[in-house]
């Protein structure tokens, strides 16, 4: 399985864990909620769905036909009649994927998909993924700085500015990750110090969540030169 197809399967299972969907609605959610899938087509989605059905992680059920845009093909329209539902085995498999914190979870596209489902992820797993991502970016930033120092004199002004822009994008994401990690730690410490453990709960059953003020927010993929 390619890395990208693995990310797509993860995202599909995560969205279907929230509610059953037909193909058209699922593709729309992938495009709007997970921008990394903007360019993919029904020709990519349906083989993925068939694989998940064959593995026993999804089942197909009859469903009503959604209102499709004029540009949608008749083939997609017919397929949209099928509703895909997560099975108990599929839910278990998705939870196993959520618990994974290895290097793949720190890479650009995989991290974006993982972060989209942090609301369903245990706090300790979130922390490991965030810290791993930060470590990966700090390594990348160090290499970029070293490369720029070696080649600065040979670069024209525009190429030099492009290099600086790339470094700023990585630096901005590192600051954003620092904020998230601090917020997770603050929530954990708050829970430990609460005498009754009755602080406000998040979706994983523990306190925490996103920082209230995030000037840096999540880097815009359009200005990331990774």
195-205 pLDDT, tens digit each: 554 434 444 44
Share of the chain above pLDDT 90, in %: 45
Compute, in degrees rounded to 10, the torsion defined by CA atoms 156, 159, 165, 167: -90
Helix, strand and coil in the chain, % to nearest 5: 65, 5, 30
Cα 222-31-218 angle, rounded to 5 deg: 40
Average model confidence (pLDDT) across the chain:
79
Instruction: Dump pLDDT digits (tens) for 92-151.
Output: 999 999 998 888 889 888 898 899 999 999 999 999 999 999 999 999 999 999 999 888
Phi, psi dihedrals of residue 84, rounded to the nearest 5°: -105, 130
At 166-195, the pLDDT tens digits run 999 999 999 999 999 999 998 765 555 555
Specify the pTM: 0.71
Q: Which residues contact 188 (CB under 8 A, 6 or more apart)?
A: 123, 206, 207, 208
pLDDT at site 213? 43
pLDDT classification of 39: cutoffs 50, 70, 90: low
Residue 44 is predicted with a pLDDT of 85
User: Tell me, what's the pLDDT at 109?
Assistant: 80
**Nearest CA among 134, 114, 95, 107 for reference residue 34:** 114
């Amino acid at each position: 399985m390619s890395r990208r197809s693995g990310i797509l399967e993860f995202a599909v299972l995560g969205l279907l864990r929230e509610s059953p969907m037909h193909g058209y609605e699922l593709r729309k959610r992938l495009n709007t909620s997970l921008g990394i899938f903007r360019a993919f087509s029904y020709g990519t989605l349906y083989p993925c769905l068939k694989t998940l059905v064959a593995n026993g992680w999804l089942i197909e059920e009859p469903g009503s036909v959604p209102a499709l845009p004029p540009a949608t093909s008749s083939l997609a329209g017919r397929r949209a009649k099928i509703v895909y539902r997560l099975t108990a085995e599929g839910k278990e498999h998705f939870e196993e994927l959520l618990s994974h914190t290895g290097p793949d979870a720190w890479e650009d596209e995989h991290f974006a998909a993982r972060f989209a489902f942090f609301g369903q992820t245990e706090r300790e797993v979130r922390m490991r993924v965030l810290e791993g991502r930060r470590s990966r970016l700090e390594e990348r930033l160090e290499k970029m700085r070293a490369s720029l120092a070696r080649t600065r004199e040979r670069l024209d002004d525009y190429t030099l500015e492009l290099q600086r822009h790339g470094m700023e994008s990585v630096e901005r994401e590192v600051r954003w990750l620092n904020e998230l990690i601090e917020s997770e730690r603050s929530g954990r410490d708050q829970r430990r110090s609460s005498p009754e453990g009755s602080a406000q709960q998040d979706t994983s059953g523990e306190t925490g969540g996103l920082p209230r003020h995030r000037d840096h927010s999540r880097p815009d993929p359009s200005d990331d030169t990774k």
